[in-house]
Structure 1
Amino acid sequence: MHRHYIFTDKRESKKGILSAMLGAMSLISVFLTVYFTWQNHGTAYVRYGVVTLLCLIFSAAGLVLGIMAKLEEDKFYLFAWIGIVLNALTLLGIGGIVAVGVYGL
């Protein structure tokens, strides 16, 4: 029987975990607002816009937290990278929604 021991004091960054949680929450919320708007045949209620605006704010904060977590020393960076990717995808998605709204399809 082989035992694998890891002798390290590195841990995941709390900022990275928070960044990943904000990114997942924002990405799912933006996806759901787009889906519900599609279900309503393109009618976007004001509450969908408010949710998307909050997601924009949360994603910007999550992206900053992810970058800050990535810059920490002696930490694992898995959640920091996940947070950076999810928040960037959310920001790109919101930017795409705004671009389609301004310029049309």
Structure 2
Amino acid sequence: MGRKYIFTNKKESRKGIMSTVLGAVSLFSLFLAVYGTFQNQGEALVKYGMGVLFALLFALTGIVLGIMSKMEEDKFYLFSYLGILLNVLAIAGVGFILYAGVYGL
């Protein structure tokens, strides 16, 4: 039995790749902000708050790019799905940080 090959000209969407990168940067920024606050005995500095704010903005932009890349035809969607997932996790992380700050977790 011979091998069957499928040739395609599909490529990954650039918007999907950018969405994944923004999601990874957002999650890494959140991790650094939480780690820096932990190292500072729980005192959150303004620079950590600004880092979380920018992480939120990056995550929102990443979700929009991920959805836009998912709407493109004749593309692979791995990075689109991965970008949407990472950005949703980043937004959930920001929400948890805000929840913990308001209700004193």
The one-letter code matched in structure 2 to 1:30 is L
| TM-score with structure 1 setting the length | 0.93
Q: Deviations over 1:16-57 (max 9, x none)?
A: 000000000110110111011111110111000001100100
Distance in 2 (CA, whole Å) between partners of 1:4 and 1:23 is 36
Q: Deviations over 1:63-101 (max 9, x none)?
A: 110011111111000000110010000000000000111
Distance in 2 (CA, whole Å) between partners of 1:104 and 1:4 is 60
Count of paired positions: 104
Aligned to 2:79: 79
Across the aligned residues of Structure 1 and Structure 2, the Cα RMSD in angstroms comes to 1.4
Aligned to 1:57: 57
Matching of residues 14-93 of structure 1 within 5 Å:
14-93=14-93
- Kindly, what percent of the aligned residue pairs are identical? 59
The one-letter code matched in structure 1 to 2:54 is L
